[in-house]
Structure 1
Amino acid sequence: MSQVPYASLDPDRVLDAVEACGLAPDGRLLALNSYENRVWQVGLEDRSFVVAKFYRPGRWSLPSLEEEHVFSRQLADAELPVVSPLVFHGRSLQTLEGFHYAITPRRGGRAPSLESAHELEWMGRLIARIHAVGGRESFRHRGRIDLEQMVVRPGQAVLTSRLLPEHLHPEYAAALQQLRQALEQRLDAVGPYRELRLHGDCHPGNVLWTDEGPHFVDFDDCRMGPAIQDLWMLAADDNAMGHLLEGYGQFAEPPLQELALVPALRAMRQIHHAGWIAARWDDPAFPPAFAFAREARWWEHHIQDLQQLAEDL
């Protein structure tokens, strides 16, 4: 895959992609904040807007992208407030000049209040309903939230990256191994849990609140995993988690056993984030956005964090 995957994605191609769907763009374009993919707000001649999302080449296979679209469409069909890709020519996943992309409606909203019991319980109810749909079948191509995806591969990306200072390689490798062993012990202690199709990246930035309530966006990281994955990033503390679970319990059995997974999931996300930066460093968008990763002291602090996480588990 090219290290500069979006070099040929200029504004003209974005407009061409929108026109290929039978829409009539008026030339108004606004690049939206996204590092993994490229996302544009596009104005149309009728004065409305759509959002064009171009998937990072090589990240997901075509079947896995189709699974994402099927899942979001199933949620929309169940009258859940999600932003689902629009269908053109019988398909929601479009292709133009090697880029897979999707067109969605533009939806606004504010960030949810993570201190509001009312809003937390509302989100808990909706997540339970999302999981009811997610539990009907399984992803075959999108992978799982597990040690291989969230620890082993990201860790290898860091170790093979030019970002990690050479003198820190042994210390990072040792900290990673220590944390992996601690994670394995925690997962063994929790025991088996049900896996289902998840949003996968359910943080406050992927929930938009309007007068009608919340709607969920960006299913780009949907995977198989435990239900608690879609709850813990919205819970600032135990009290907030209690409100989320209170709402969740109005539609489904709360995943109380999985609360013991939260420290492991938090640690896995931290490893994955560093590995993601390392793996994408040759993308021109990354060095300006994550300039701290150039500094040895950031990696020293990251290693200390991994060591502390292993002890805490």
Structure 2
Amino acid sequence: MPDHDAPPATGDTPYADLTPDLVLDAIEAFGHRVDGRLLQLNSYENRVFQIGLEDGGMAVAKFYRAGRWTDEQILEEHAFAQELLDAEVPAVPPLPLALVPERVPAEAAGGPPGTVRLMGTPPTLGVLGAHRLALSPRRGGRSPELEDPDVLRWLGRFLARMHTVGARRPFAHRLTMGVAETGRAARDSLADCPLLPPDQRPQWLAVADQALDLADEAFARVDGLRLRRLHGDCHPGNILWTPEGPHFVDLDDACMGPAVQDFWMLLSGEASERTRQLDALLDGYESVCEFDWRELKLIEPLRTLRLIHHSAWIARRWHDPAFPAAFPWFDSGVYWQQQADALRQQIDLMSRVDDTPSWLID
């Protein structure tokens, strides 16, 4: 049973009552018997646990942060994962859930209507009190060797297959990667943020506005830009490699956007290294489907949006005790000076005559 001494969850501390007992009880309430094994995995945004099942298998339980996604947005994530798997694209959709009334914790069972319910067809999202959760099979793997051109070509083919499925239809509820929704909304949320020191505020806002204007112009120059459903947060930490090839950890940040959004975070190192990496990725990608090479002009604008969005994300989560502990320098003048300098560098990169990333032409 849940720990009755646990503090209540609030908007500032949404996981305060998420004790090990409650986690295991929640899994059993939604139809999966556990054997008591539980390991919390790294995740700032959600709470994610590796769970031992009674049949000897392992699963991963994700407890979604309250207020971040709507139910409809989460169910679109689940449906996209299933659609990918149905198209034989390696993906890990959530397991179906089934409500087991006798396993529901007494505190939740006695709550108002809707306190305990299932959502989705088939049901993949469970609601237990203040918590929403999904359960997926555990899939192992290691980090991809991104210095290997053959690995990059394989990743390129994998992304092409994902994007082919993603282009079939749009998301109806999830976000669109763009300057307005991703960049300016983040900038505006920081404009009056007390964590942005007053002596750094004018210069940071000035360079953020200039950078966002240039990003807007870059997007406008790609006439007829095609948006599709994407992974959205495609960095090496979100890819696991197995002998059968790659798969993504999850689709929590799946969104509508240009295909290149799923490329640029896989590139690192000196200019020559990034160029070779991109060449290998696109070589694999174009063996499956066509890539709009004009989108390469959006790499630095997309990097700019991520810089601003990341700061806004930390600020929005500051009342969660995990965030001040993880980012103790966030409200310092040094951090915001560094962010302003990073945006100035982005302004320089986006101000090139043809706005093609300089490392592709140097």
Secondary structure in 2 aligned to 1:161? coil
User: What are structure 2's unaligned runs of at least 5 residues?
Assistant: 1-9, 99-121, 269-273, 351-362
Render the CA deviation track for 1:258-297: whole Å, top value 9, x for unaligned.
Answer: 1111111111111111111111111111111112213211
Matched, 1:245 2:282: yes
- Residue 197 of structure 1 aligns to a residue in which SS? strand
Secondary structure of the residue aligned to 1:149 is helix
After superposition, residues 17-28 of structure 1 pair within 5 angstroms as: 17-28=26-37
In structure 2, the partner of 1:69 is 78
**Aligned twin of 1:234:** 266
Tell me, what secondary structure is at the counterpart of 1:200? coil
Q: TM-score with structure 1 length normalisation?
A: 0.96
SS at match of 2:133: strand
For the Cα contact (< 8 Å) 2:13–2:320, is it kept in 1? yes
Provide the secondary structure at the position in 2 that maps to 1:292.
coil
CA contact (8 A) 1:235 1:244 kept: no
Work out the percentage of aligned pairs sharing the same amino acid.
Answer: 46
| Regions of 4+ moved over 6 Å | none
Aligned partners of 2:89 and 2:254: how far apart in 1?
A: 16
The residue that corresponds to 1:288 in the other structure is: 325
Structure 2 distance, partners of 1:111, 1:295, is 33
Out of 126, 136, 147, the residue aligned to residue 115 of structure 1 is 147
Offset at residue 152 of structure 1 (A): 1.3
Match of 1:210 in 2: 242
* The structure with more radius of gyration: 2
1:307 correspondence with 2:316:
no
Deviating more after overlay: 64-73 vs 4-13: 4-13
Name the amino acid aligned to 1:94.
G
1:51 and 2:65 matched? no
Q: Deviations over 1:137-181 (max 9, x none)?
A: 111111200112221121123223222111211111111111111
The residue number in structure 1 matching 2:192 is 160
**Matched residue of 1:53: which SS?**
strand
Query: Number of aligned pairs?
Result: 313
Task: Output the CA distance in 1 between the equivalents of 2:308 and 2:180.
Answer: 12
Separation in 1, partners of 2:173, 2:220 = 25
Post-superposition shift, 1:38? Answer: 0.5
Q: Conserved in 1, the CA contact under 8 Å of 2:197 and 2:331?
A: no
Aligned-residue RMSD, C-alpha: 1.3
Contact 2:81–2:93 at 8 Å: present in 1 too?
A: yes
Structure 1: stretches of 5+ with no match in the other structure: none
Shift of 1:219: 0.3
User: Which residue number in structure 1 is paired with residue 225 of structure 2?
Assistant: 193
In the alignment, which of 37, 46, 52 is matched to residue 46 of structure 2? 37
One-letter amino acid matched to 1:41? Q
1:150 and 2:182 aligned: yes
